[in-house]
Amino acid sequence: MTTIVVTGHGSFATSLVETAQMIVGPTEHVHPVDFPVGTGVDDLTARVAAVIDQVNPAGEPGGVLILADVLGGSPARVALAEAAAGRAEAVTGVNLPMVIDLALSAGAASAAELAARAVTAGQDGIRDAGALVRPEEGVS
């Protein structure tokens, strides 16, 4: 079973997970870790590590996927450090379609498989919705 850790600046992670739960119901395999203003990177690192240790105490490979908000930010750097240590997979650019998709399939795939799925779901969730309702040019 793969556990998903969502992290990001401010209360982004909790808000994103709560919003996903409004749509798909309980998400027992998805854990938010916020990075509130004024919090140091060491604290975020410890909190992410604590969640990983709690959900994957044996340190089994493929058990944790970390979704972070933006590449280069502190949450992403923490996620990448965990990935470099072999404790998790990491994907940046987390969005709601990604979390919804993964929340429904977290128990059924490895972290590496979910990482690939996350990228696809995140990209597929981005649409020019206005183009769906705009009349085609040249059509009367």
Q: What's the average model confidence in pLDDT over 53-57?
A: 88
Q: Give the residue extent of every domain in the chain.
A: 3-133
Tell whether the model's pLDDT for residue 4 goes beyond 90: yes
Is the per-residue pLDDT at 139 higher than 60?
A: no
Instruction: Check: pTM over 0.85? Answer yes or no.
Output: yes
| Spatial distance between the Cα atoms of 91 and 118, rounded to a whole number of angstroms | 8
79-117 pLDDT, tens digit each: 999 999 999 999 999 999 999 999 988 777 888 889 998
- CB-based contact 2:105 (threshold 8 Å): no
Give 67's strand partners: 6, 91
Cα separation, 15 vs 7, in Å, equals 10
In CATH, what is the architecture of 3-133?
3-Layer(aba) Sandwich (3.40)
